[in-house]
Amino acid sequence: MLNLNILIIVVNVMYFHARLLSNMGVKEGFDPRIKIAQCRVWRNEELK
């Protein structure tokens, strides 16, 4: 059960970071898609 709770926390943290990155510097021309894609890769690695 502890591993499941840790996994849920990790997924929530990664989701939060993806949302944060998606809004970071859009007006300045920053393209967050690269960092969001990397967050998704890390999340998927954690889910395996």
Between 8 and 1, residue with greater pLDDT: 8
| Assigned token pair, 44 | 């998927």
pLDDT of residue 30: 74
Could you give the CA distance from residue 9 to residue 2 in angstroms, rounded to a whole number? Answer: 11
Q: Give tens-digit pLDDT for 7-48.
A: 888 888 888 877 776 776 667 677 777 778 888 999 888 887
Please name the residues in contact with 7: beta carbons below 8 A apart, sequence gap of 6 or more. Answer: 46, 47
Identity at 36, one-letter amino acid code: I
The confidence score (pLDDT) of residue 36 equals: 82
Range of the domain at 32: 2-47
Number of folded domains in the chain? 1
pLDDT of residue 41: 92
pTM for the model: 0.41
Residue 1, pLDDT above cutoff 80: no
